[in-house]
Amino acid sequence: MLFNSYVFIFAFLPTVLIGYFAISHNWGPRQAKYFLMFASLFFYGYWNPIYLLLLGSSIVVNFTVAGWMERLGEADRLLAKKRVLIAAILFNVGMLGYFKYRDFFVGSVNFVLGTEFPLLYMALPLAISFFSLQQIAFVVDSYKGLTRERNFADYVLFVSFFPQLIAGPIVHHKEVMPQFAQEDNKRFRVNNFTLGSFIFSIGLFKKVVVADSFAGWATPGFDVAETLNLVEAWITSLSYTFQLYFDFSGYSDMAIGLALMFNIVLPLNFNSPYKAASIINLWQRWHLTLTRFINLYIYRPILRSRKGFSFTWAMFATVVAMEASGIWHGAAWTFVVFGFMHGFGLVINHIWRRRKLPFPHLLGWFITFNFANLSLILFRAKDWETVGKIMSGMFGLTDIEFTVNKQLFFSDNILFRLVDKSQHDQFATALLAAVITLFILVIYHCKNSQELLEDYDGSPKYLVFQLILLIVPLMLLQQVSEFIYFQF
């Protein structure tokens, strides 16, 4: 069940929202949380009921481990407690590794050693990358005494809460579950519903109208064309750069909006990353909850493993942390290189900053945006041949032409009839260039979703704006598409 589907918007969401607050009002908040828990599990199992066994096993193991560590809290049992923590982390990483990375590892061994170990070709279980990290954070925080959960049903709700289950934000127990206990949050609040529906509408528009439109230009370049000229290659790469941002930030907006309808505030996941003027600032704005996880549970432990601060060791920790980010995103060597690319980019950025060398803001933005654009080719390409095709076109190693093939880029696009009336490809080229330029200006100058939410005052202009944001994508939902991060 997708957020961007009629069944979710007109059936599941109203049923769960009305049911949750009606049960809370008539039978009490505990029964309402049970209802929301079962609704969230239904939402997850709707994709494939067998996945519930995997999610359920993960929940049971991590909840049990957290309870063991709480009982092993005495000073003389810290060694046993630490062993339990390590076992829990290995369980989560092992489960993720088996389902997500086994074929990648076996395929790499076969390639290097010439062996023929069989591949499983398993479909990646939905949301495993996200709920695994969320539960690793929970058991580590439990070990440190930063959080605790003694009620199993509440823990199930924490992991499975449907707005953030599939693709984040990656949340901490202590920042979400106490909100369910707050008295004001147990009743329907019109203001929260209004704000939540507003930001949900923004996210829906981003996904259906913007991201899916850019997908219509990115996909032919990556997956269909055998070669690309200079302009086609840049159109392809930039289209995916915008598609990924508006797709994932759109999902995050919808998740935040949905949770707010239930009076739950989820953490911000995006803060205009394409406005960043440095690689450091890019990662301070992009996928914030993943960056937070990597910083707290990978980067800082590596840093603390060495007594005294060392800049060289900090840079080593940075590269390792970014490599972990790259591998988390996908089981392919392109993601390995993506991680190293951003790791070394951050190192260079830190060295530059440490030496206090001047750098004009606009030039910094230009370099950062194009660095991100180039790295995302690795993010999207299905193999190294595709990477070579895109990059050779972008750097003028194939045809240096300044037009696009309109049959390639508009064959499955709603603008095809308009473009097809043109006798030449120049009109299609100009149209694509205008769209790309427009969205460069949008991402650099316009307010982001959070800023629009803060400005929202319920005035008629905002209501009309929200109505447009909602109606336009609803008219286009016949072409339902999954979110990109469902693949990770």
From start to end of 245-361, where are the E strands? none
| Per-residue pLDDT, 423 | 53
The low-confidence residues of the chain, meaning pLDDT below 70, are: 73-76, 411-424
| Per-residue pLDDT, 165 | 92
Which tokens belong to 236? 């392809």
Which tokens belong to 50? 């067998």
Cβ–Cβ under 8 Å, residues 258 and 195:
no
Task: Report which residue type is found at 1.
Answer: M
| Per-residue pLDDT, 75 | 61
| Per-residue pLDDT, 375 | 96
Cβ–Cβ under 8 Å, residues 131 and 55:
yes
| Per-residue pLDDT, 134 | 95
Q: Which residue in 57, 484, 465, 486 sits closest to 240, CA to CA?
A: 484
317-359 tens-digit pLDDT? 999 999 999 999 988 999 999 999 999 999 999 999 999 888 8
Which tokens belong to 362? 């606009």
| Per-residue pLDDT, 76 | 58
How far out from the chain centre does Cα 482 lie? 13
256-289 tens-digit pLDDT? 999 999 999 999 999 999 999 999 999 999 999 9
| Per-residue pLDDT, 415 | 60
Q: How many CA atoms lie within 13 A of 116 on its CB side?
A: 0
Q: Which residue in 188, 179, 176, 142 sits closest to 26, CA to CA?
A: 188
Kindly name the residue from 172, 173, 287, 329 that is annotated as catalytic. 329
Cβ–Cβ under 8 Å, residues 310 and 300:
no
Cβ–Cβ under 8 Å, residues 170 and 291:
no
**Rounded Cα–Cα distance for residues 387 and 378 (Å):** 6
| Per-residue pLDDT, 413 | 63
Instruction: Map residue 144 onto helix, strand or coil.
Output: coil
Burial class for 381, CB neighbours closer than 10 Å (0-12, 13-18, 19+): buried
DSSP state of 359: -
Cβ–Cβ under 8 Å, residues 190 and 355:
no
Contacts of 40 (CB under 8 A, 6+ apart): 157, 160, 161, 162, 165
Cβ–Cβ under 8 Å, residues 295 and 321:
yes
216-266 tens-digit pLDDT? 899 999 999 889 999 999 999 999 999 999 999 999 999 999 999 999 999
329 counts as catalytic = yes
Query: pTM (2 decimals)?
Result: 0.93
**Rounded Cα–Cα distance for residues 253 and 269 (Å):** 8
Q: Which residue in 134, 16, 145 sits closest to 69, CA to CA?
A: 145
